[in-house]
Structure 1
């Protein structure tokens, strides 16, 4: 390219909501800046909607947006080869001086219009119509109101591009790490050229490396040249993302330069190697983040490199080295930033549906052709970026496996550089590998072979983070590579009908085969792991200063206030968030403990603004910290070097032996060599044990055994919080685990306590006499109560409640852990934080929380369960009051079940001691009839 004319700036504007046709001169009665969107420019009618399930676009416009601009064409460029380049937009049609030049409809790649021979020196009128309706496909998160919105406009570069008489087209760079060279292919268009001159210089490393200039004589128009870079050429990876700027000069017969093309490439080889990925021969573990292109300040994805550098650097600070774009492809700037930072990128076709073949009653050949072509457009536009290492055909696809595989085959034949997968979590319950897959991405091989820690209730059985007693022993090696294979559910193969979660709804599909009875020979990546929700942070509302408004947050706040719980909003947010972070810690550590897993794709590091409003991030939708965890602490369980301790339980008994096998997940470029891991176990301000584990690890790219922590715990008289700390000497690689140590021999002794299961006549008589009553109703018999569950709600309650109901399956519990009045004397012998910790696991899992709606805000349960933002129940797991003339405390815990563990016994012991003590003297009074109506 020899020159370009930037067309950004003010354009005349006409909005045509009803798509009536090209406006007359007088209809262009407005103007706006391009690049930009009509919503961001606040053009059109104000949107009066108030969406609950996503953010609300305050200036939502759907229809034709007409843009017109007078442009000046310099005489010296009028005769050159010329093109109009629109970096990112919707469906466009272009007119030059009233002559229609055609239409383009790619959602992912630039729209390019040929202007050669149509330009004249002087002033020209350029008219562009942008249509954001009637797309050839639904568009996934490229057009979703849940993410970047269905915006209208043009973003990124808007320019006229001018070329010499000869130019290079279809330029591709194929790095060859083994030969330290790059293969360059292209085609000469226009006039013939006599030679091609190649030069390359590295530009972002500590030192500069220049390859020798190479001049090739051209014979014909097709170029296929191997360009040696030298033995000391720099390699690109997550650890050393060094890049080269390749300059290609077409030369005429006289040796003069006809045209110049520049391209950036990285010398790298990213490939599957057994159960892992390798980058330049080094094993890596993908620590991935889902991305749906959520940008709440603009409503569209940024196209400037600086903003993507900011975003990706934040993710790197949380240990991420991989991005999976859900049914979306980011703009060029995202790949440029990822190139500079060493992030492994995986764009995805904008499709979330069923792949059909001709003859199927729902087959849409036009849509299928469009989607396939979009894949080729993405490969052509972004394939030279070294960060573009993976490509997926879509999200949770169903349908024809042969057709899906044929699409893969076509892409691989066209461009062999990225690794391909049939899709993310395809055929969810009955997955299979296809011939042209390079890796597998999913959540299970069968009902029992699951390799994720959490699942929606409608996809039960759920995961170990949600159901298993807390410990650090779980990994996914056996589910991924079972020692003895069994067919899924013991059923025969063959077609069968199953109900599945399908987006935000449900669908009945034909599931071919029984699935599960195979082991992947390719790397396995776990799909959309985590999804632990937090309560909204209503302070965030003021951050929405762009076109997207947090009407959903405002509605949630109003609902909470209507229930008389508005004063607890901050406490709900902070304490639900701390639980969610603990859940993420176990989720990610289980993945890192798994030697057979190649990586994970988290959903998500940031909040997801749509699909019911899923506040699942350590960061908010703006990629700002929610104050729940520091990047350093997050990296202690999500990084290329993570210390891991394996022990069966967080709840210990004094006088017994504690053992923890210490491992190191190490995926750095070089082996760690000799190292020392210092460990301490502290409790109550004292060090119970300390030492150093020494190891020499001569390899990288695996989970390595370091040693074992072993000690006999001293007897304790009271429950103590303990902390196991690990650190590699001389580094910032550390880990901390919160443990609890209980006195041995503690029993749930209710001697001297009046305990009743229901408010019997006898119980009422005790109260009437001014006595004290402990009411412990059978949790299973309670009607006005919510089931107890420890882990934070999966994704968000409204969406999965609706899906479960439509599938006629169990509705999720939908709670967010505990809000604990930790200073209350009922917990004197069971010291607690204000949020859920593993000391509460057995208590909570054997409980129900009673609905206390309508009661005074002055009456707060001792232990309150945090409900979701849709129901906003006031929930009491442990609460007390004066009633019937006496003192009553209610605890809906199955004492027999909870008492099977030392933590459960300690809680019951503390409760009994409190009821026996003078401290049990509640002041808030409640009518006995009102109480009986709640505890029914």
Structure 2
């Protein structure tokens, strides 16, 4: 039977930055498992990163670890292995004799040792975190878990008897309710394998009768019957078994015993959807780059991963895509327990080449493929491991990539494979051996996510389209003109410039098949990426090896511009806008009946690549206070209510029409559902009703009813709420709508309106008049373009990429900060942050840069700038000039006057300027204004 000697504890330590070799005696000690950075070994890192967290004790080079271990008599002479769960490049010595080297970044390093004599032996391990056999990805990046050096997870010597099982593979046969056990028997004689199974994590228990199988040395397979009442594994019911394998010799003595977790399931790609045990499921995915700021490396204990994955599941997530990395085994075990569909990815972000290509690196490709086999071998038994990707945004030979897929599928058919995540970004193509497709577009105009970087334009509908709930991607996935046999324009051929990691690159477009219709499940890649302003209170949470020096720099920049007092409001208001963007992004995915799922980037903040604070959770997986998990699940869950309507802003008494539907991938719902709907204002019910709908078996998209409601006549701008709920369930949804009183004519009648600072405007001000300055946005130089949506990913990274590609840089703003108690909003009540009444107004505006203005002169409505520029941006500002008063808003009034919200806003400005409340506190000079408004 297997016996282990735990090697955790104190080890001797020698740092060897210049790779001079082991110098004796050792000069330090360290507690393992752990990393040199976490233990604060070596010189302090003086470099401060702005684009990522700073590893305070970053060490890159070779590190030598050594310790003595005592082998008792009863273990002497047995088969022995050294097991190191997760590390970098290692070389092993035993008693000064070199044993070998291992280089896997994703899987344990296992060394077979000579049979040991009783007594004390010295184990020496050299770990090198330089010169990796691949360019790598998020396993070694400063942007994520850092390029740490050390050994994490289990460290042990494993001893076996005369017979042992190796390379054990468990394979479900759902139809037969059996598990096929394939393994290699290392033995000199035939023996008996006893198999038993016991469920352990479900309300219903199931113990399977033990089965015995005669097995011979070498590779063998046996089928163990679980029975027709076997419990199945899925996201909704992640039932697990402990399967115990016992080897017995002829005399009945146990020679080896191993226990594995098993889940009986069948995860397949069928048509345009994934199925779990024959039922369709929709992937609600999260990107993960193994960001753990308190340690700088991924945890290897199940409890921590249960906590982490449990948080994601509380936000409706059922799927994890690991970007260019594979998590430790504890992550798969926790996912088994919680019902999360896992997709690790090879650690590659580059180009796959043929041997005849310039720059071909056969050694790197061989290494990457071997990593894939190692991942499958190490973690493939976990029921949660259902998908695998060859890398992130790969380019190069499609034939070569497809050959890798073919080989993996021949090796392990339990997993669904994809060529990579968003491969050949502008000219994607489904390969012969793809099981599913992950990307962002099928061609330049066939987009199926809501946001893109400017360098990757065209932008998405969340960034550019009038807000509504009508958008889905069905016509992008299967265009009607393609269904009719018309071939659309082929944009392939020649060379194209692409975003490549955090830079730009020119690549060959390669031969492409033009427009095509996918015949396998389509998963939208890295959707979202809506940025929020930093929360500087978070800085104190970084009490591990990683320090938020970038946050400190951002805070200093803001304070140097005199805006430090607004940091908390910037964070809160940008966050509320980001949440609204995410809601529309996710709902568009759920409305898309031809889509198989999405992979969000991200539920949590991303610490690197310029510092991308795109999460509703921070990098620690703690809530940022923007939205509760319960509210998030109203638009991200296994059942999502959706109302389709064309706009959010309505005129008094206008008809409101909405189509209500349910995206439903939840098992166990009743055959008949009752929808309750309400339209409320100030807690009063304007209209209400119920509708019953029958749900045919196997239906995932349910059209419930059409609402046709005449909105009330109002005499002032009002917010109304459409609430939807399925009675007896947690399925609910709400939408804010806005109603405006009917207005006609010139909203600014009686107001002195100028589009430039003319002598006539100054003359009126000198006479004590009130003046509204509305410069045409296109005429302003000292201003930033109006843009309703918050910034994509992070401004510094994509500004740099856009500049290197000679493309327009992003606008880079993050919504509005509104002094909503100001009397200018008497007729235009508003939140402190951007809401849909502002969309048309902001899109036809510019915000004036007030960096050089007096710091006591503050806008009424300020546009939040990103943390790199930190401009003080005025959307609406007031001042007194001479004896008069001035209100400044760079808005195209003609364009917004066509909308009810625009007319209401202008009317509110006029009403304020005519009132006694129009008494600006700041007194500006003529020269100040001329310097400001250019």
TM-score band by shorter chain is: over 0.9
State the alpha-carbon separation in 2 of the partners of residues 105 and 143 from structure 1: 13
Give the counterpart of 2:133 among 100, 115, 136: 136
- Do 1:472 and 1:648's aligned partners in 2 also have CA atoms closer than 8 Å? yes
Aligned to 1:187: 184
Aligned to 1:24: 24
- Do 1:196 and 1:248's aligned partners in 2 also have CA atoms closer than 8 Å? yes
Give the counterpart of 1:663 among 661, 664, 669: 661
Superposed, 1:564-603 pairs within 5 Å as 564-603=562-601
Secondary structure of the 1:142 match is coil
Secondary structure of the 1:485 match is helix
- Do 2:429 and 2:512's aligned partners in 1 also have CA atoms closer than 8 Å? no
Give the counterpart of 1:521 among 519, 522, 525: 519
Superposed, 1:470-869 pairs within 5 Å as 470-485=467-482, 491-492=489-490, 495-514=493-512, 517-700=515-698, 702-869=700-867
Query: Is 1:316 paired with 2:313?
Result: yes
State the alpha-carbon separation in 1 of the partners of residues 855 and 487 from structure 2: 49
Aligned to 1:359: 356
Aligned to 1:70: 68
Larger deviation, residues 576-585 vs 693-702: 693-702
| Structure 2 spans left out of the alignment, 5+ residues | none
> Post-superposition shift, 1:515?
5.6
Aligned to 2:901: 903
State the alpha-carbon separation in 1 of the partners of residues 550 and 372 from structure 2: 35
Going from structure 1 to structure 2, the CA distance change for 1:700 and 1:743 (only over 3 Å counts) comes to farther
State the alpha-carbon separation in 1 of the partners of residues 207 and 746 from structure 2: 76
Aligned to 2:325: 328
> Post-superposition shift, 1:766?
0.9
State the alpha-carbon separation in 1 of the partners of residues 682 and 238 from structure 2: 46
Secondary structure of the 2:598 match is strand
State the alpha-carbon separation in 2 of the partners of residues 489 and 283 from structure 1: 31
Secondary structure of the 2:349 match is coil
State the alpha-carbon separation in 1 of the partners of residues 719 and 764 from structure 2: 37
> Post-superposition shift, 1:768?
1.5
> Post-superposition shift, 1:672?
3.7
Q: Deviations over 1:323-378 (max 9, x none)?
A: 00000000000000000000000000000001011121111111111001000010
Going from structure 1 to structure 2, the CA distance change for 1:493 and 1:316 (only over 3 Å counts) comes to closer
Q: TM-score, normalised by structure 1?
A: 0.98
Aligned to 2:13: 13
Larger deviation, residues 507-516 vs 374-383: 507-516
- Do 1:618 and 1:629's aligned partners in 2 also have CA atoms closer than 8 Å? yes
- Do 1:243 and 1:339's aligned partners in 2 also have CA atoms closer than 8 Å? yes
Superposed, 1:83-94 pairs within 5 Å as 83-94=81-92
Query: Is 1:291 paired with 2:288?
Result: yes
Aligned to 2:123: 126
Secondary structure of the 2:363 match is helix
- Do 1:449 and 1:516's aligned partners in 2 also have CA atoms closer than 8 Å? no
Aligned to 2:390: 393
Aligned to 2:345: 348
- Do 2:185 and 2:218's aligned partners in 1 also have CA atoms closer than 8 Å? yes
> Post-superposition shift, 1:552?
0.2
State the alpha-carbon separation in 1 of the partners of residues 225 and 75 from structure 2: 36
Query: Is 1:234 paired with 2:231?
Result: yes
Larger deviation, residues 73-82 vs 304-313: 73-82
- Do 1:747 and 1:906's aligned partners in 2 also have CA atoms closer than 8 Å? no
> Post-superposition shift, 1:684?
3.4
Query: Is 1:61 paired with 2:55?
Result: no
> Post-superposition shift, 1:203?
1.1
- Do 1:132 and 1:150's aligned partners in 2 also have CA atoms closer than 8 Å? yes
State the alpha-carbon separation in 2 of the partners of residues 918 and 398 from structure 1: 65
> Post-superposition shift, 1:930?
1.5
> Post-superposition shift, 1:858?
2.8
> Post-superposition shift, 1:721?
0.9
Going from structure 1 to structure 2, the CA distance change for 1:672 and 1:809 (only over 3 Å counts) comes to farther
State the alpha-carbon separation in 2 of the partners of residues 663 and 857 from structure 1: 51
State the alpha-carbon separation in 1 of the partners of residues 379 and 716 from structure 2: 62
State the alpha-carbon separation in 1 of the partners of residues 691 and 50 from structure 2: 53
Superposed, 1:182-331 pairs within 5 Å as 182-331=179-328
Q: Deviations over 1:41-65 (max 9, x none)?
A: 0111001111100000000000111
Secondary structure of the 2:482 match is coil
- Do 1:429 and 1:515's aligned partners in 2 also have CA atoms closer than 8 Å? no
- Do 1:458 and 1:811's aligned partners in 2 also have CA atoms closer than 8 Å? yes
Superposed, 1:459-470 pairs within 5 Å as 459-470=456-467
Q: Deviations over 1:655-695 (max 9, x none)?
A: 11111111111111234421211111112343211111211
Give the counterpart of 2:144 among 142, 147, 151: 147
The runs of at least 4 aligned residues of structure 1 exceeding 6 Å deviation read 486-490
Q: Deviations over 1:177-218 (max 9, x none)?
A: 111001111111143232211111111111221112111122
> Post-superposition shift, 1:495?
2.9
Aligned to 2:77: 79
State the alpha-carbon separation in 2 of the partners of residues 531 and 473 from structure 1: 21
Secondary structure of the 1:212 match is strand
Superposed, 1:88-103 pairs within 5 Å as 88-103=86-101
> Post-superposition shift, 1:916?
2.2
State the alpha-carbon separation in 1 of the partners of residues 29 and 159 from structure 2: 27
Q: CA RMSD in A?
A: 1.4
> Post-superposition shift, 1:537?
0.2
- Paired residues in the alignment total 933
Aligned to 1:383: 380
- Do 1:669 and 1:700's aligned partners in 2 also have CA atoms closer than 8 Å? no
State the alpha-carbon separation in 1 of the partners of residues 29 and 200 from structure 2: 41
State the alpha-carbon separation in 1 of the partners of residues 679 and 325 from structure 2: 47
Give the counterpart of 2:174 among 172, 177, 181: 177
- Do 2:473 and 2:592's aligned partners in 1 also have CA atoms closer than 8 Å? yes
State the alpha-carbon separation in 2 of the partners of residues 23 and 413 from structure 1: 47
Secondary structure of the 2:157 match is strand
Secondary structure of the 1:802 match is helix
Going from structure 1 to structure 2, the CA distance change for 1:659 and 1:494 (only over 3 Å counts) comes to closer
State the alpha-carbon separation in 2 of the partners of residues 194 and 834 from structure 1: 74
- Do 2:878 and 2:888's aligned partners in 1 also have CA atoms closer than 8 Å? yes
> Post-superposition shift, 1:884?
4.0
State the alpha-carbon separation in 2 of the partners of residues 886 and 488 from structure 1: 65
- Do 2:487 and 2:515's aligned partners in 1 also have CA atoms closer than 8 Å? no
> Post-superposition shift, 1:490?
6.2
Q: TM-score, normalised by structure 2?
A: 0.99
Aligned to 1:164: 161
| Structure 1 spans left out of the alignment, 5+ residues | none
Secondary structure of the 1:553 match is helix
Secondary structure of the 2:171 match is strand
Give the counterpart of 1:368 among 351, 365, 384: 365
- Do 2:189 and 2:216's aligned partners in 1 also have CA atoms closer than 8 Å? no
Going from structure 1 to structure 2, the CA distance change for 1:544 and 1:701 (only over 3 Å counts) comes to farther
> Post-superposition shift, 1:855?
2.7
State the alpha-carbon separation in 1 of the partners of residues 188 and 587 from structure 2: 59
> Post-superposition shift, 1:932?
1.4
Query: Is 1:3 paired with 2:3?
Result: yes
Give the counterpart of 1:418 among 415, 419, 437: 415
- Do 1:193 and 1:250's aligned partners in 2 also have CA atoms closer than 8 Å? no
- Do 1:448 and 1:488's aligned partners in 2 also have CA atoms closer than 8 Å? no
Superposed, 1:853-932 pairs within 5 Å as 853-932=851-930
